[in-house]
Amino acid sequence: MNQSINKLPPTIIFIFGGSGDLAYRKLLPALYNLYIDKYLPEKYFIYGIGRTEFNENEYLDYIKKGISSFSRRKENLEEIWKVFSPNIDYIKADLEQEATYKDMADKVAVKEKEWGEKANTMYYMSVAPQMAPMIATKLHEHKLTEDPCRSRIVFEKPFGHDLKSAMDLNILLGTMFKEEQIYRIDHYLGKETVQNILALRFANALFEPLWSSHYIDHVQITVAEDIGVEGRGSYYEGAGALRDMVQNHILQLVCMIAMEAPVSFAADEIRNKKLDVLKAIRRWQKDEVHRNAVRGQYSEGWVHGKEIIAYHAEKGVTPASPVETFAAVKFYVDNWRWKDVPFFVRTGKAMQSKSSLIVIEFKPAPQFSFPAEAGETWRPNRLVISIQPQMNIRLRFQAKRPGPQMLLQPVDMVFNYTDAYGDNSPEAYETLLEDVIEGNPTLFMRADQVEMAWEIIQPILEAWHTRPPVDFPNYEPGTWGPEDAEALIARDGYNWTTLPK
């Protein structure tokens, strides 16, 4: 049934952590959708690998349940499942045992014989980060990744937990693999609305002349979630909002907004342009951190009528935990284009609503020609890119209110993804898995990008580590975070922007 229109080479996908949450909610549903869209190679096979015991067919039933709950497509599941599922199997294995890797090598050989040609292999580390180096080393030792053109290894975040550990990990991987084999995922880069930033900026002549400190006053990035850590306490205790969201997703968004135009869409060209932004971001000295970064932790409370337990009461969290569930930072990109333009970023759990928003606020137009009363609601132009859950771009400008007087009012011009394309855009993991299969690393983090991003947040991590918070918990669920975050942006005369209801 799958008449693959693409000519992708046969591919075997091994998912370490095949019985885990990511495989269940994201990876298998994404592969299922790629199959429907005929983006999987004609010859493919998926192995989930894990410790969990499944009896015959139990794994497939489990995966099917995940797909029926989390795939963006639910129609004709039974029919499609019949042709999709024969190419999935489960390997119960101890990942520390040599036999596991010998078995994998045998499985590759059997498939290649069956297909009558060489296969590409993808090894997806959907496991606790501390296990990934061990697995990678065993893959290397068993020569499963010997051919750099045919084998790819995918790493989920976090990639390291600070600058030093990320560098060590890069060095280790560098001794075993070619950089082009390594795919470090930042799932934000797979989101349609994030990729569209490149189209918005570089496929339109309109914005580029205005895209600099000459016309842009400041930039805001909000990535807010309305849920708490929800049982992920033990992971989160080793992370915190700065590591979990700022070091990766948010700094990547800063790069997309601030980068120069690439001369081509070649992976390294785009990644070089982003790296330039990371290099230019001002490193705060430790004693500057308190003026430019704010942290918070939520107490117990309510969001949308649902009770949220305090972070420190979560399972796996120490009662007086100093770990931040909210972070806001002011950055500067010290280059010609962005001289003195502040980039305010904030992210938090248990906030008032789920909303990922980029706001580009332009400098105010001179008001001279209008009488003061005309412009009581005078507002600067603003471009708001809403990444999720609403997917839209809105441009605010001043309009004349109908009537005999010249009264001005800000209005929005809105481009809405759902109106234009329906609400069935590919999920980030579909795009990213497809890119790995195709061997396109554009949307993945290169070693130097990861390190540069750690370098930027390292002083903040250190300053916060040296001075434990004294006021945690300091914000209630259902709010926009601690008061200090308002003060951070208010000092420069601004407010955080939220989407109109």
Footprint on this chain of ligand BG6 (rule: CB under 6 A) = 225, 244
User: In angstroms, what is the minimal distance from the CB of 336 to ligand BG6?
Assistant: 32
Q: Are 275 and 213 in contact (CB under 8 A)?
A: no
Task: Please list, in sequence order, all residues whose beta carbon lies within 8 angstroms of the beta carbon of residue 332, skipping any fewer than 6 positions away.
Answer: 281, 282, 338, 340, 341, 342, 343
Which residue has the closest beta carbon to ligand BG6? Answer: 244
The nearer residue to ligand BG6, 151 or 355, going by C-beta atoms, is: 355
Could you tell me the two tokens for 294?
């704010």
DSSP structural state of residue 264: S
* DSSP sequence for 109-135: HHHHHHHTS--EEEEEE-S-GGGHHHH
Q: C-beta of 158: minimal distance to ligand BG6 in Å?
A: 8
Q: How far is the CB of 354 from ligand BG6 (least distance, A)?
A: 8
We find the least distance from the C-beta atom of residue 256 to ligand BG6, in angstroms, to be 15
Task: Give the integer Cα–Cα distance in Å for 301 and 307.
Answer: 6
Contacts of 467 (CB under 8 A, 6+ apart): 290
Please name the residues in contact with 23: beta carbons below 8 A apart, sequence gap of 6 or more: 15, 17, 48, 63, 66, 126
- When the beta carbons of 229 and 281 are compared against ligand BG6, the nearer one is 229
Distance CA 214, CA 402 (A): 32
Nearer to ligand BG6, 119 or 310 (CB): 310
Q: Where does residue 83 rank: exposed (0-12), middle (13-18), buried (19+ CB within 10 A)? A: exposed
Rg over alpha carbons for the chain, rounded to the nearest Å, is 24
List the catalytic residues.
249
Shortest spacing between CB 225 and ligand BG6, in angstroms:
6
Q: Which is nearer to ligand BG6, 25 or 363 (CB)?
A: 25
The residue assigned the tokens 């489960």 is: 90
Residue 390 CB, nearest distance to ligand BG6 (Å)? Answer: 13
Alpha carbons 444 and 385: distance in angstroms, whole number: 22
Q: How far is CA 18 from the centre of its chain?
A: 21
CB nearer to ligand BG6: give 225 or 324: 225
